[in-house]
Amino acid sequence: MAKINLLPWREEHRQEKKKEFVTQLIGVCILAGLISFVWIQAVNKAIENQQSRNSLLSSEIAILDKQVKEIQELKKKRRELLERMKVIQDLQGTRPVIVRYFDEFARSVPEGVFVLTLSRSGKVLNIEGVAETNTRVSDFMRKLNESEFFEKPNLRSVTVDPKYGGQSSRFSMQVNLILPSNEEGGA
């Protein structure tokens, strides 16, 4: 058999394959670097785009928040005005009723009863006075209860007070004020 030395050819072939491998490796590294660079640039661009959108949204939200505050202030002013209007309407509607209360109260006070103080707290009328006898106090309470402007008279105290006469009594009572049904429709 003939002896052929293939070693140099194999060595050359190996060197060529090695060179090809290194070239491909360098090409792949360059390509990977290029792809990474493009990908990083795309991500940075997307981040910048999102940040600009976020800043736009933030500025629009700030504008809307300002408008919401203005609307809340307007609603508050409107509510206050409506409350004032209601108070004024209530006062206008009940103005003649106060005169009717006093007229009815004067008619309910029997002879021999003297009213010393009269005070109102909400819908409750506090009355302090002097009566010649206890029956006059009872008569006064009965007349107040029969009135369409007063209800539930409540006698709080009765004490003997000889300063005003032999049988005179000093009394304190409360009575609830009511608005008659015919006045509610007109108010």
Mean pLDDT of 158-165: 74
Q: Give CA 60 to chain center in angstroms.
A: 26
The CATH code of domain 101-186 reads 3.30.70.2830
**pTM of this prediction exceeds 0.95:** no
User: Burial letters for 121-136: b for 16+ Cβ neighbours within 10 Å, e otherwise?
Assistant: eeeebebebbbbeeeb
Band (84; pLDDT cuts 50, 70, 90) = very high
Q: In this model, does residue 56 exceed pLDDT 50?
A: yes
Residue 112, classed as helix, strand or coil, is coil
Average pLDDT for 76-87: 94
C-beta separation of 164 from 116 below 8 A: no
Q: What count of Cα atoms within 13 Å lies in the side-chain half-sphere of residue 123? A: 8
Summarize pLDDT for 87-122 with one digit per residue, the tens: 888 777 766 777 777 777 777 777 878 788 888 787
Per DSSP, the three-state class of 110 is: coil
Domain ranges of the chain: 101-186
Most confident among 54-58, 132-136, 183-187 (mean pLDDT): 54-58
